[in-house]
Amino acid sequence: MEEKTGAQVLISADPCFGACDLDVSLLSQVDLLFHFGHSQLEQTDLEKKVFFIETRSKADVGPAVTAALPLLPEKKIGILTTVQHVHQLDTVRRLLENAGKEVILSRGDNRIAYSGQVLGCNFSAARSCENSPDAKKCEAYLFIGSGRFHPIGIALSAQKKVVCADPFLSEAFELDFRKFLMQRSAVIGNSMEANLFGIIVSTKNGQCRKKLAKRLKQKAEEHGKKAVILQMDLVTPDQMLNFSVDAFVNTACPRLAVDDSGRYPVPVLTPQEFEIVLGERCWEDLVLDEILEGERE
Ligand code: SF4
């Protein structure tokens, strides 16, 4: 770019976790910022100078979807994936329809760029499958991608069976999230006697939920607990070691509480888990935390 345009290029050397995590400091110094690998979230003034360059996986979804078919005796299937496989959803649809299935493909809220796309913090496309005219007929979901975080979010959010087709391993399996629920139950159980909570707020552009943090602090106080709001940019176990609280409540990226749960000095709860600790939500209503359209502040 420097050779061809004469523009000066600065490369952000900070870690980046998603479109929620623009390098705001760099953005304030440049005319245009190219952000690689993620689709745009809902647009605010901040994104006006940002050009999102998505990346697509070359992995063939065919073998994984074929492996998933025996696990899907249901007729009406909702299909969901992450941004790197969205360009292959037509192929997935065709393979399922050739196997006699009816396919439901729905679009999530404005944080979601494509039909059928989910984020680790947004499963609204799964719920919109449920709310579409075809919803009552959607009997199971097929998730295309790797890892278990997204399918667990889909299963808890939509309360339906999820089959995962991993294009990188050309394998498929039916999601079993009992171990996940046991882990989260342990975190909730270990927080029941906590009196002082650290409520984490991230300053990252797409993760910042100050109003939610204030609401949670107020709830804590209504229940006779103490809570302090801790604002930080990058949330890491090392950062949290600096604070002596009985438990943390994370309002930043919802994956933080779950993915790194073994690395924190004290329990780290999601807002929904905190409500269970306070007795405001039933255990049966445990869902993954989401950041939905209009929630960032
Ligand atoms: S908040 Fe977390 S899950 Fe959501 S887009 Fe950012 S990194 Fe991904």
- Cα(73) to ligand 1 centroid in Å equals 33
**Ligand 1, atom 3, residue with closest C-alpha:** 120
Instruction: Decide whether 62-176 matches 179-285 in CATH topology.
Output: yes
- Mean pLDDT (the chain) is 93
The CATH code belonging to domain 179-285 is 3.40.50.11860
Task: Please give the pLDDT value at position 132.
Answer: 63
Distance CA 277, CA 146 (A): 31
- Cα(69) to ligand 1 centroid in Å equals 30
The CATH code belonging to domain 62-176 is 3.40.50.11850
Tell me the per-residue pLDDT of 121-169, one tens digit each, with 9 for 90 and over.
999 999 886 666 655 678 999 999 999 999 999 999 888 999 999 999 9
Q: Is 17 in the pocket of ligand 1 (CB under 6 A)?
A: yes
Task: Please give the pLDDT value at position 275.
Answer: 97
Tell me the per-residue pLDDT of 106-121, one tens digit each, with 9 for 90 and over.
999 999 999 999 999 9
Supply the DSSP string of 93-147, one letter for each residue. Answer: HHHHHHTT-EEE-----TT--STTB-BTTB-HHHHHHHHSTTGGG--EEEEESSS
For residue 194, the SS3 value is: coil
CA dist 90 → 72, 79, 94, 103 (Å): 18, 10, 6, 10
In the chain, where the domains are located: 2-53, 62-176, 179-285
Residues in the chain with pLDDT values less than 70? 129-136
Q: Is 207 in the pocket of ligand 1 (CB under 6 A)?
A: yes
